[in-house]
Structure 1
Amino acid sequence: MLVIMVRGISSSLKYPSACFPTKGITADFLYPILWETVESLEYDCNLKLVFITCDGAAANRKVFALHKSPTCTSGDDCFWTWNPFSMPNRKMFFISDVPHLLKTARNCFSNSYSHNQKRKLWKDGRDISWAHILRLYEENIEKNLLCQANKITRSHIDLTPFSKMKVNYAAQIFGETVASSLELMYGDSVLETVHFIRHMNKFFDCLNTRNLKESARKRNDNLKPYCDIDDPRFEYLTKDFLGYFSEWKISVNNRNGDYSKSEKDNMQLSHQTLSGLHISVNSIVECSKFLLSEGVEFILTSHYNQDPLEEEFSHLRHKGGSNDNPTVYDIKNNLSPMRVIGSTALAPIHSNITKHRKAGGLPIDCRPIAKKHRFSKLRV
């Protein structure tokens, strides 16, 4: 099912606007569907649409590219276009889902000198290798030695198709505790791996702010909500973070030796991931500045991701019970009441997203059920 969901950036609005049964879709079919939805929401619902979020599928990236201006060069990533249905005219930003980008970056990292060994990540004379993570785990964590990265398990190391879907596994691999442990145990030999992990960790923290109090609870300023157009994290994302990958590319291109273009490409993250990082960072920074200038009090950047859509699919699977292959009619019948009254089920226990349970939600009563009274037979 192709589902288009509307999500509020400064409100709790989450509503599946349209759904289409499909075995696959191409950009030429997706393009008019998206703009018809934008027109309907702008004119009929009086909603002001400012961004479109999706994962990094080929059709989605092609839709972004279809909006590229003729003046853009082939190497430029298209991250916005004018919204023709807005009044006054405003920009529509394109965003690649940040949790998906974190997972694809982790997958490229995991294949560097390990797993299928398709990549040999290298920067400034040093390898960025998954073998460093494996060594840290087997020499320290697995032996229960004192180590900061105590959240890492064998499931984080030996990835399966199912574990690759879990965002928290990728976020924990790119955690500050992993970088600090590598730096402490192995020093300069893992310097570039440490730099890469720290950049990805700060990138995800800056673009995954979820509530107003999390930063104080975790003592992490990167998790604060955005309240100022001049927030220094905007400059870090556009200059330091994206500049890091530009320096990486220059370093690979200037590497001495007879390397083919494909070999140099394999020394970096995949071009799909790099393109998604550029699109998402530029879009989120510009969109946040625009909203703050328009009077929005604060921005929680987790509202730019597609977690509500993942939750919607989880609820639909949950309602199917033991039927893990629902038909189009099953989806239709379950989606209609969910649109009207919301999901009647609790957030799914097993999922590849983070669950947010609101206070005052469905009440849970742990008292035992009253037993039925048995009437004794009357004896005459």
Structure 2
Amino acid sequence: MAIRQKLIYSRSDDRLYGLSTSSSNTIGGQVEIAHQMMCYVVHGLTTRFTIPAGYFFHSSFTAEEFYCLTLNILKLVTDCGFLIIRIVTDNLALNVNLFKLLGNGSIQNVISHPYLSPLPLFLSFDYCHAIKNARNLFLQNDMMSSDGVISASFLTDLYDLQKDLPVKPMKFLTKKHLFPNNLEKMNVRRAIQIFYPSVTAALKFLNENGHELFQNVSGTTKYLGFMHHFFQIHNVSSKNQYIRSLDSYVAPYVNVSDERLHWLMHKFHPYMDDIQMQSQRAGLPGLSKETAHSLKFIARSTYLTVKFLLEEVGFYYVLTRTFSSDCIEAMFSHVRSRGGSNDATDARAS
């Protein structure tokens, strides 16, 4: 989390707040004032709990420092009796380098647990960040797949078509969805609303009824559908929601032969490769290399984690929303609220 670069002396504590906690702030070293906070949070899978395991103020981190810090946190938490089976983070370059160091030079979905060998330790990027990246790239440039062009211009045309209508097919579709600013790009709800089945249905209806602006929309509707399925598979949060919603895609995972896990491994992966290959042939950017890799990496990690929990650990069911880094986002939100709902809080308030 970004914090205000500010040095504060507390007379009551006789302490300076705002210095980096890295090794450079030793006697004789150059003093560094922190402008970021690194936070580790332990989140329960079988029991509902969220515990901050540690947070550190820093101005810069090398991958090696981050690696050592992560191993120290992992050891301390393991010594407290927790069984850590998965590390989740976003796909920033620093985190990618961390995964490379954990995997001895290569990014792997599963490694041997450093302190509980031979138990596995699964690595994954956060699916919420990945879906936001997929949305942002979809809005920025056209792509291509075997089903045709993938373009956000169809959504823009839909927005222009319905904005003066008293009854709108997509009442939630706004400019903030299609032209988000930097802050709005962080909103997961708006990102996933772009991929709602109702959007896909509206585009298909206009295409089937011969509207001239919505020809060759099949490639775009398939992309929207795949991204929505990907999010749903990773957003299972209740044992009973699938009964109330009559939607099997949000049912808890009870069997490794679940068709959703098969879809992740045998349909989603080839579709991502198809977009990259067809976009390259058409001279279009496609998805960024990092985003395409992270989407496939998340899909495989989810499959392996669910398989391990059901077959090896003996879970009766698995809820995949607990795999996300929402607990860290909630921690940051709480810290900001304690600092007066300030997006640029300082080290003392944190």
Question: Taking structure 1 as the reference length, what is the TM-score of the superposition?
Answer: 0.76
For 2:164 and 2:44, the matched residues in 1 are separated by 44
Does the alignment pair 1:318 with 2:340?
no
CA 1:7/1:82 → structure 2, altered by over 3 Å: closer, same or farther? same
Tell me which moved more, 2-11 or 122-131.
122-131
Q: Secondary structure at the match of 1:328?
A: coil
2:135 to 92, 103, 106: 106
The answer on whether the counterparts of 2:41 and 2:51 sit within 8 Å (CA) in structure 1 is yes
Residue matched to 1:51: 86
CA 1:109/1:311 → structure 2, altered by over 3 Å: closer, same or farther? same
Does the alignment pair 1:38 with 2:107?
no
For 1:252 and 1:131, the matched residues in 2 are separated by 17
For 2:279 and 2:348, the matched residues in 1 are separated by 52
Letter in 2 for 1:173: I
After superposition, the CA RMSD in angstroms is 1.9
Tell me which moved more, 124-133 or 199-208.
124-133
2:241 to 198, 208, 214: 214
Letter in 1 for 2:263: Y
Question: Taking structure 2 as the reference length, what is the TM-score of the superposition?
Answer: 0.83
The alpha carbon displacement at 1:145 in A equals: 4.2
Does the alignment pair 1:330 with 2:349?
yes
Letter in 1 for 2:94: A
The answer on whether the counterparts of 2:195 and 2:225 sit within 8 Å (CA) in structure 1 is yes
Give deviations 1:122-141, integer Å, cap 9, x for gaps.
22373211111100111125
Letter in 2 for 1:241: F
1:228 to 247, 255, 263: 255
Does the alignment pair 1:302 with 2:321?
yes
Residue matched to 1:201: 228
CA 1:204/1:81 → structure 2, altered by over 3 Å: closer, same or farther? same
The answer on whether the counterparts of 1:51 and 1:95 sit within 8 Å (CA) in structure 2 is yes
Percent identity of the aligned residues?
25
The alpha carbon displacement at 1:146 in A equals: 5.0
CA 1:151/1:247 → structure 2, altered by over 3 Å: closer, same or farther? same
Pairs within 5 Å for 1:7-86:
7-42=43-78, 44-68=79-103, 77-86=107-116
Alignment gaps of 5+ in structure 1: 113-119, 257-262, 332-380
Residue matched to 1:373: none
How many matched pairs?
Answer: 307
For 1:167 and 1:211, the matched residues in 2 are separated by 19
Give deviations 1:329-358, integer Å, cap 9, x for gaps.
222xxxxxxxxxxxxxxxxxxxxxxxxxxx
The answer on whether the counterparts of 1:8 and 1:14 sit within 8 Å (CA) in structure 2 is yes
CA 1:21/1:146 → structure 2, altered by over 3 Å: closer, same or farther? closer
CA 1:21/1:135 → structure 2, altered by over 3 Å: closer, same or farther? same
Give deviations 1:185-214, integer Å, cap 9, x for gaps.
124511100000000000100100111122
Give deviations 1:84-118, integer Å, cap 9, x for gaps.
2115x111111111111010000000101xxxxxx
Residue matched to 1:245: 272
Residue matched to 1:368: none
Residue matched to 2:153: 131
The answer on whether the counterparts of 2:67 and 2:102 sit within 8 Å (CA) in structure 1 is no
For 2:341 and 2:206, the matched residues in 1 are separated by 48
Pairs within 5 Å for 1:149-160:
149-160=170-181
Write out the 4+ residue segments of structure 1 that deviate beyond 6 Å after TM superposition. Answer: none
CA 1:306/1:168 → structure 2, altered by over 3 Å: closer, same or farther? same
Give deviations 1:297-339, integer Å, cap 9, x for gaps.
21110001111111111111111126554332222xxxxxxxx
For 2:272 and 2:92, the matched residues in 1 are separated by 22
Residue matched to 1:351: none
CA 1:5/1:125 → structure 2, altered by over 3 Å: closer, same or farther? closer
Give deviations 1:34-61, integer Å, cap 9, x for gaps.
111111222x211111110011111001
The alpha carbon displacement at 1:65 in A equals: 2.1
The answer on whether the counterparts of 1:64 and 1:79 sit within 8 Å (CA) in structure 2 is no
The alpha carbon displacement at 1:33 in A equals: 0.9
2:162 to 130, 140, 152: 140
Does the alignment pair 1:168 with 2:189?
yes
Residue matched to 1:336: none
Residue matched to 1:191: 218
For 1:54 and 1:95, the matched residues in 2 are separated by 7
Residue matched to 2:3: none
For 1:94 and 1:80, the matched residues in 2 are separated by 6
The answer on whether the counterparts of 1:141 and 1:152 sit within 8 Å (CA) in structure 2 is no
Letter in 1 for 2:97: K
